[in-house]
Amino acid sequence: MYTQADPNTLPKPGHDAFPVLEITALSSDGQGLGRLSAGPWRGLVVFVPGALPGERVRIKIRKQTRSYLTAEIAEPIQRLPKASCPHADLCGGCALARLPYNQQLDWKLDFVRQAMLRTGKIPAERLEQVLAPILASPDIGCYRNKMEFAMACDNKGHILVGQRAFHSHALVATPLCERMPAIVQKICQKCAELCSETALPAFQPRPKPHGFWRFLVLRKGFLPASHQEAYWLLLLTSPGSKKERQSVRLVCEKLLAAFPEIACLVHEERKACDGLAIGDQRVLVLGQAADALLSLPLGQRWFCLDAASFFQINSQASQLLAQHVQSLLAPYAGKDTLLDLFCGVGAPGLLVADQFHKVFGIEIQARSAACAQNNAHAFNCTNYQARAGQCQQLMANLPQADILLCDPPRTGLEPETLKDLLRRAELQAICYISCNPSTLARDLERLSGRFTVETIIPLDLFPHTPHVESIVRLIRK
């Protein structure tokens, strides 16, 4: 892996040469990496979105610093075979799709290894002892139970529904996407047509935020009572007037009429001018699942969740994750208290709840925390209590805990939460689930004064993307 090169000479900003570059590595966000061996940029590392190891490309330099360059592909010279998905070269959803799957796994394992060595400061000899082989996803094709589709306007003002291009805000229509069933793409196409008929524009955050339609989120799940497979849709818009909200209702009603496979359609609004598909306010719920609840299986149980709640998007690989979490926590069965941070709807914490006398879950989303408590009731886990709020605010009022289970967002643990964990003298072990090797390694280094990393298990929950999950067990020194 490359980090930094010592430049010899930097060309003038207007230099227009198109050098040829051998791509020999990957950055952790999926960009191709190479080092120029000749010319005015000799010795510098180049980041090239859309390029992969084993390829030769002619590049156009877009940005230069004293330690690296960023470039775009001006001309492919030697490229890997095309991916089976026809959108792979443009869509940013599957940046690694042209790499053979075993090579994807090798690079993801290296992402974890390099993060642990450099940021986590784990000695190389020790890392080889604790880092397990990466676990492959059982399904690498149509593996997603949830997809987020962005919305934008074309040059005629028509609404498009698709994925963002790699490292870009440009939208790519993906009518033949392979990651979810064909019915999903039909729903997307129909949604785009109906939204276009409203004459309301898609949201654009730049240069000045404006527009209405933002995201269409589709989820494949099961009706809680019958376990019949169906789809849940979430339309996210900017805050709207009474007339604009009525337009959304009409779109939802027409989608429900066109697709009997849709169990529920939810309309939510978001005020912030950003690119997050997370609603601030729920406006409307239509369909037979009028409470917006669905079920998904995990560890021989059915977890009930809200249409907007977090749950792992790879159903088969998440079973592997749950099994390894249970295995890592098994030695602590019979301990008094488990603290489950970022508990979501209770998965996977509820799968091990019967091993402890008390379990306290903390979850920032109130709807998810309510689902966690309801799931505990459904599983007859009378020792489980879920609370909604910020971790750093609620932890100060929680009792002592012997064991910690946490599954934070990509940003990792907040500094105040880390300080609280370091102050807890009674805490014997931590099981940390992470989707970001960089922030995981940072947090492990901060915890290293009191805890020792005993096991790191990388797991591929996101085939064809640069993302990799990790499960870590730490024990008190």
Q: What pLDDT band is residue 38 in, cutting at 50, 70 and 90?
A: confident
pLDDT over 60 at 7, yes or no: no
The one catalytic residue in 252, 264, 381, 435 is 435
Strands 32-35 and 213-222: unpaired
3-state secondary structure 259-316: CCCEEEEEEEECCCCCCCCCCCEEEEEECCCCCCEEEEEECCEEEEEECCCCCCCEHH
268 is catalytic: no
CA of residue 293 relative to chain centroid, distance? 21
Supply 251's token pair: 């779109």
Q: Is the pLDDT of residue 368 over 70?
A: yes
Handedness of CA 55, 56, 62, 63 (dihedral sign): positive
Say whether pLDDT at 288 is over 90. Answer: yes
User: Which CATH superfamily does the domain covering 312-476 fall into?
Assistant: Vaccinia Virus protein VP39 (3.40.50.150)
Measured from the Cβ of residue 29, the count of other Cβ atoms closer than 10 Å reads 15
Q: Is the pLDDT of residue 216 over 50?
A: yes
Looking at the chain, the whole-number percentage of residues with pLDDT higher than 70 is 96
Give me the residue spans of the domains in the chain: 20-78, 146-296, 312-476
Provide the 10 A C-beta neighbour count for residue 471. Answer: 22
Closest CA to 462 of 29, 1, 25: 29
CATH of region 146-296, choose from 3.90.1150.10, 3.30.2350.10, 2.40.50.1070, 3.40.50.300: 2.40.50.1070
Nearest residue to 420 via CA among 445, 441, 391, 444: 391
**Is residue 2 predicted with pLDDT exceeding 80?**
no
pLDDT (0 to 100) of residue 10: 44
pLDDT at 13 over 70: no
391 phi/psi in degrees, rounded to 5: -55, -50
Average pLDDT value for residue range 434-439: 98
- 431 with 355: CB under 8 angstroms? no
User: Does the annotation mark 469 as catalytic?
Assistant: yes
Candidate from 12-16, 316-320, 346-350, 378-382 with smallest mean pLDDT? 12-16
Confidence of residue 328 (pLDDT cuts 50, 70, 90): very high
Q: Look at residue 220 and give its three-state secondary structure.
A: strand
Query: Residues 200-209: pLDDT tens digits?
Result: 999 988 888 8
pLDDT in tens, 138-173: 999 999 999 999 999 998 999 999 998 877 788 888
Candidate ranges 39-43, 230-234, 270-274, 391-395; pick with highest mean pLDDT: 230-234
Q: Which run of H or of E encompasses 73?
A: strand 68-78
Q: Give helix then strand counts, H and E, for the chain.
A: 9, 22
Checking if the pLDDT of 471 tops 90, the result is yes
- Cα–Cα distance between 124 and 134 in angstroms, integer? 17
CB-based contact 172:91 (threshold 8 Å): yes
| Alpha carbons 270 and 148: distance in angstroms, whole number | 15
Confidence bin at 369 (pLDDT 50/70/90): very high
Mean pLDDT of 359-377: 97
Where is average pLDDT lowest: 83-92, 105-114, 232-241, 287-296? 83-92
CA distance 306 to 348: 16
Q: Which of 320, 323, 383 is nearest to 353 (CA)?
A: 383
- Check if the beta carbon of residue 321 is closer than 8 Å to that of residue 315: no
Residue of 232, 223, 198 whose CA lies nearest to 213: 198
6, pLDDT greater than 60: no
Q: Cα-flanking dihedrals φ and ψ of residue 66, to 5°? A: -80, -5
Tell me if 20-78 shares its fold with 146-296: yes
**What percent of the chain has pLDDT above 90?**
83
- For the cut 60, the answer to whether the pLDDT of residue 354 exceeds it is yes
Q: Which CATH class is domain 20-78?
A: mainly beta
Res. 5: pLDDT tops 80 = no
pLDDT over 60 at 9, yes or no = no
Q: What's the confidence (pLDDT) of residue 4?
A: 37
Q: How confident is the model at residue 8 (pLDDT cuts 50, 70, 90)?
A: very low
- pLDDT level of residue 351 (50, 70, 90 thresholds): very high
Q: Among 47-56, 161-170, 305-314, which stretch is predicted with the lowest mean pLDDT?
A: 161-170
Of residues 204, 235, 216, the one with CA closest to residue 149: 216
DSSP 91: B
Would you state the structure tokens that stand for residue 376, as one six-digit string?
């505990």
With 80 as the cut, is the pLDDT of residue 330 above it?
Answer: yes
Judged against a pLDDT cut of 80, whether residue 175 lies above it is answered with yes
